[in-house]
Amino acid sequence: MKTADTRERLIQRINAMTDEQCRDLLKLLEWRMQDQRRFPRQNSANPSRFFVQNHEYQGIIKNVSADGMFIESPQNVTPGETVTIIFSLFSFEDPIRITGQIAWKDQHGFGVKLDLNLRELIKTAAAFPPEA
């Protein structure tokens, strides 16, 4: 397909969207373009609990990197809100507890920009042996 055809189809689809769908698409595009994947994402299917405004919910971490993750959940969250996520990692005894900001959402779940580097948090907690 030619670039002009692709752009035309994209514009047609955007013009057919509601304002809310356009806002969600814009947030997703801005998130993806700014992020540029500084850290590689790893697919996951890790159950988690998360807290937004003192309410507890459950979700599935579908992918994770050192600075972010995607949580599949039907909960209605708002980008910019603080979220605390609790999940188990590998066979470690204590669960990981980390906070971040909801960066974007769609009908499947939401993306989180973590406040701390997850890899560094795990190392600090002595979950990984020191690098050689």
Least confident window among 14-18, 35-39, 128-132: 128-132
* Contact partners, residue 45, CB within 8 Å, separation at least 6: 60, 61, 62
pLDDT digits over 31-83, tens only?
A: 766 655 567 777 888 899 999 999 999 999 998 888 889 999 999 999 999 99
pLDDT digits over 69-106, tens only?
A: 999 999 999 999 999 999 887 666 778 888 999 999 99
Given the structure tokens 């470690």, which residue do they identify?
Answer: 92
Please state the domain extents for the chain: 1-36, 39-132
| Residues linked to residue 56 through DSSP beta bridges, in sequence order | 51
Residues 68, 50: Cα–Cα separation, whole Å: 14
CATH topology assigned to domain 39-132: Thrombin, subunit H (2.40.10)
Residues 71, 60: Cα–Cα separation, whole Å: 5
Residues 31, 13: Cα–Cα separation, whole Å: 20
User: pTM for the whole thing?
Assistant: 0.64
